[in-house]
Each structure stands twice: as C-alpha cells, then as structure tokens.
Amino acid sequence: MSIKDQTLAVINALNRHDFVALITAFDEEAVLDLPDGIRVIGHASFRDTLSAYVLRHDLTLEDCVVMIDEAGLRVAVECTLNGQNRRGVDADAGGEEGPYALPAVLVLEREEGVFSRLSLFCAVRP
C-alpha cells in the first residue's frame, strides 16, 4: 500500500472511530503526541489515549491535503479538525459547549511499511 493510501486509511479509521483498524497501521512501539502535551508510547497506550481524546472531543479530520517527503518516510496532512468542546465535562474546566473547526496538521512517520509516530498539532487546544 502506498504511503498516501495508508495515510488516508488512518484518517478514515479515525473519522469512523475505528481504533482497532487504525492501530494496525502502527508499529508496536509507536509514539503518539497530542496538542495538549500528552505523549504515549506503545500500542495499548496509543490506542487508549487516542480513542479517549477523539471521543471526548468528538473529533473528525476533514479537507485533508496529504504531503509526502521525497524519501517517503514522513507525511504531513493539513486539515480541519472538527469537534465539540467537551472540556467542561472534565472537572469544571469551564469550556463552552458547541461545535468548532480548527486548522490542524497531522504528522506521521513511517518505517518498514508501518507508521512509528502520529503527532497532531492545532493552533488552539480543543
């Protein structure tokens, strides 16, 4: 599978909230970095942390533009991060409810046919 197709499969799995399918594209010791500073390593932590984050904010990625480096090892996806502000559910954070759309970048690194890192960056923390 091409790196572009593999990237789109990851995005589609994330948007469907199919974390079992998503994690199969990643190495056992894959690294996950999220906008709120969370970093985890390893399949179980990666899957559990990403699923909690995505479900808590009801996140989807849309309007994706996939850019691949010349070596085919890194991918940057410029996208729109859509979600619901649900921080108020997490211990009186005082967040407002309602939908939002933020500019975001998803960065993936691939080694030997599987991804080894997923980093999500956005201008404002959801």
Do residues 40 and 32 touch, judged by C-beta distance below 8 A? Answer: yes
Give the amino acid at 67: M
Count of structural domains, the chain: 1
Average pLDDT over residues 77-104: 74
Is pLDDT above 80 for 86? no
Q: What is the CATH number of the domain that holds 49?
A: 3.10.450.50
Q: Which of 37, 119, 31 is nearest to 75 (CA)?
A: 119
Give me the pLDDT at residue 87, please. 57
Give me the pLDDT at residue 92, please. 46
pLDDT band at 125 (very low <50, low <70, confident <90, very high): low
Is pLDDT above 70 for 126? no
pLDDT tens, position by position, 15-65: 999 999 999 999 999 999 998 889 999 999 999 999 999 998 899 999 999
Contacts 24+ apart (CB under 8 A), 101-104: 102/126, 103/78, 104/61, 104/78, 104/79, 104/80
Q: Distance between CA atoms of 9 and 22, rounded to whole angstroms? A: 8
Query: Domain limits at 44?
Result: 3-122
